[in-house]
Amino acid sequence: MTTLTKKRTGKAIFYTSIIVSSLLILGYIYYLELSTYRTGVKSPLGKSSPFVEKIFSAEKGIVFHQATGTHIVIPPDALVDENGKKVRGKVSLKFREFQNAYEIFQSGIPMLFGEDRTDYFSSLGMFELRAFQNGKEVELKKDAGVQVELAAAIVPDADFKMYFLSDELNWDNGKSFEVVENKRRDIALAELPDIGRKPMNPNQDTVGFNFEIVSDYTKMPHLKIWKDIRWTVNEADEKMPVEQAIRLNWDKISISKSQNEANIFQLDFASMQTDYSGKQVQLSYSILATPQLTGNELAKATVKYEEDLAAYNLVFGEIVREEERLKLESGVLSKFEINEFGIYNIDKLKDTEILAQVEMQFDFEKELIPEINKVMLYVIMEKERTVLNFNSFDWDKIPLLNAECALVAVLPSGKVAYVSKENFKAVLEANPLSSIRENKLFFKTEKLDYDEVEDLIERILEPSRFV
């Protein structure tokens, strides 16, 4: 081989090695980009829970109350602009809270921590509070404090702390807080008008099926037209004997004409009762009965009753709705003061006490490569009120903390692959886990649009936000 040929060969090898090395470096950089977890708050579906917005005067401050029981007080003259100048005039307060794992999932607020991501938050309530004037965010002045009482689903133990998400990136060191009862709710319930609280005490008049409706007509005015009128029972529910039913105290009774018989009426009784275990249950009972009135007297009584009932239902409906609203409030509140707007969390910091470590596989992996498509998997745990997220490089070592999980994998093109907690549990039951061998779980998923996921979450949370 000539000297010139050797030189050319050496240059070719040199340039080839540079190209190969560059490709390897670029490939490694791309791998790091795909496998690295993003920091900060990023909603997996592109948008989080909407804010509740209130307009208030900066000079007067605001007392802000939510249906969950959360209560916030911003004192007068507590706001400054970006230059430290006192804010005057109208200000927009924006607030939202996250009281369950599904709302935490929508928010994108990080819940896993540590270099090896083995620490996680178990939440007892999170919220975000901001204030704006003319589209610009304003701040709390240094000596101002906002009083917060945050709704809690359960009574927190001593391991729970209050955390602040600094710069929307890192949680600060936890601080202590006070646990208080929701006395505002209890007082409001006690002060509700007594219409219908102790309404009916139907007493049997004779041993047979004749009875009178006896009531405090100041509380049940729509029944006054039936005062001293005897009723003869034609038919009754089989839930209990008539003699027992008409002796109970009922929250509400309504009377309506039977569609089949002119002189027969249906009496519907309803109330909340406490069963043997102390649980509140809805009780109802119906009787078909005939009032002992003549034709003209019966007609007049019926017309008068319908007029009085319409007026009563308006009042009673408002009271019932307010009572139901108050009962949805949390009975326990986490009380503390904040000196900065932002995101706060009442959490217990835990390490992943692993029930088992599993490798998760999904049906959609036949259609796309999760690693290249940066598919993120979210493990939603209701009882822990937390969300663990894993990129596809870690699906072979997912810690399973409990058997009640829902899974959401965010796919390209605005789709997600969803596994309900019921289907998740069914897969676990069909594949018992082992602590000494590898656990592989395969899941068939339901493909949903982002909007369908939001609708699904609304249906899950419909009974209560404190799931």
Burial 442-464 (b: 16+ CB within 10 A, else e): ebebeebeeeebeebbeebeeee
Query: pLDDT digits over 403-446, tens only?
Result: 789 999 999 888 999 999 999 999 999 998 877 778 899 999 99
Residue of 263, 255, 261, 258 lying closest to 297 (CA atoms) = 263
Query: pLDDT digits over 333-375, tens only?
Result: 999 999 999 999 999 988 766 667 899 999 999 989 988 889 9
Do residues 201 and 269 lie in contact, with contact meaning Cβ atoms separated by under 8 Å? no
Do residues 148 and 339 lie in contact, with contact meaning Cβ atoms separated by under 8 Å? no
Q: Is the pTM of this model over 0.85?
A: no
* Percentages of the chain per state (helix, strand, coil), in multiples of 5: 25, 35, 40
Q: How far is the CA of 53 from the CAs of 92, 95, 130, 251, 362, in angstroms? A: 7, 6, 10, 37, 41
Do residues 163 and 347 lie in contact, with contact meaning Cβ atoms separated by under 8 Å? yes
Query: Residue 457: in which H helix or E strand, if any?
Result: helix 450-461
Burial classification of residue 190, based on how many CB atoms lie within 10 Å of its CB (0-12 exposed, 13-18 middle, 19 or more buried)? exposed
DSSP string, 351-366: E---SEEEEEEEGGGG
Q: Is the pLDDT of residue 103 over 50?
A: yes
- Measured CA to CA, the distance from residue 338 to residue 145 in angstroms comes to 6
Query: pLDDT digits over 21-31, tens only?
Result: 555 554 444 44
Strand 146-152 and strand 71-74: pairing? Answer: antiparallel
Residue of 333, 417, 436 lying closest to 376 (CA atoms) = 417
Neighbours of 30 (CB within 10 A): 11
Supply 381's token pair: 């745990």
Confidence at 144, pLDDT banded by 50, 70, 90: very high
Confidence at 140, pLDDT banded by 50, 70, 90: very high
**In the structure, how many helices (H) and strands (E) does the chain have?**
7, 29
Q: What is the pLDDT of residue 12?
A: 59
Identify the bridge partners of residue 274 per DSSP, sorted by sequence position.
280
